[in-house]
Structure 1
Amino acid sequence: MMKTTFKLKTMLRAAVIASLAVPLMSTMPAVGQTSSSCAPRDQVVKRLAERYGESRQSIGIGQRGMVMETFASADTGSWTITVTNPSGVTCLVASGQSYEMLAEALPNTDSDV
């Protein structure tokens, strides 16, 4: 029971953080600006692979050409959400542990059932 509760809390936390990624895209540094959590995409991807064993698991296009990606490691369960602006600067949005790949079916919306 305790393990299920921990797993549920972890999944809920990941869902909340992921849902925040889109609004955060609009507050990212302007093109050409960087912060301590931003760098050219190739450097970020290389560091995530070398240091954490993470590879890209998902991708999505946001407002103003921003690209959101999720990187994760099947071995350690670590994960990172990044956002890349059109100029190629990638910023870290969130990271954590206990990543799980899910392939859930859509809920039944048939009102006859």
Structure 2
Amino acid sequence: MARKLILILTGAALLALALAVQPAAAEPIFNCAEHSKIVEFLGSHYSEKLLAVGLINEAAILEVYVSESGSWTILVTNVSGRSCVVFAGQNWETIPVGPDLKT
């Protein structure tokens, strides 16, 4: 139950951020850039590689990049190819889903 609530709240926050990916002219956003530039930066500086992709709506996708050392970054990209770093952190753990694991 708590996991579903967290997923719903995270999805709502990411949706709001995805809708705001196009910054106003007077308000530069420094954590956004062309998708390929952010992906290149994540690979060269943190050794992060794409782990998961999800569709947020018809205008944005969410991507999760993770390194073997455990650093992670979540990007939201709009249809024009502009990406914003939404969250980043350390100690990522991938939990395998098996028949005995309740989600």
TM-score range, shorter chain: 0.7 to 0.9
Structure having the higher helix fraction is 1
1:52 corresponds to which of 46, 54, 63: 46
Cα shift readout 1:5-61 (whole Å, capped 9, x = no counterpart): xxxxxxxxxx7985432342223225x996210111110000000000000000001
Structure having the higher strand fraction is 2
Q: How many residues align?
A: 93
The separation in 2 between residues aligned to 1:103 and 1:70, in whole angstroms, is 16
Deviation at 1:63, TM superposition (A): 1.7
Contact 1:26–1:63 (8 Å) recurs in 2? no
* Letter aligned with residue 21 of structure 1: L
The separation in 1 between residues aligned to 2:70 and 2:65, in whole angstroms, is 10
- Pairs within 5 Å for 1:80-91: 80-91=73-84
Cα shift readout 1:42-96 (whole Å, capped 9, x = no counterpart): 100000000000000000011232010000101x210000000000001000000
* Letter aligned with residue 42 of structure 1: S
The separation in 1 between residues aligned to 2:70 and 2:52, in whole angstroms, is 15
Matched-pair identity in %: 28
Unmatched segments (≥5 aa) in structure 1 = 1-14, 109-113
Q: 1:77 to 1:17 in 2, by over 3 A?
A: farther
Q: Which stretches of structure 1, 4 residues or longer, exceed 6 Å deviation after superposition?
A: none
Contact 2:46–2:67 (8 Å) recurs in 1? yes
* CA RMSD between the two structures: 2.9
SS in 2 for 1:49: helix
| TM-score for the superposition, normalised by structure 2 | 0.74
- Pairs within 5 Å for 1:18-37: 18-19=10-11, 20-29=13-22, 35-37=29-31
Unmatched segments (≥5 aa) in structure 2 = 1-6
Q: 1:66 to 1:53 in 2, by over 3 A?
A: same
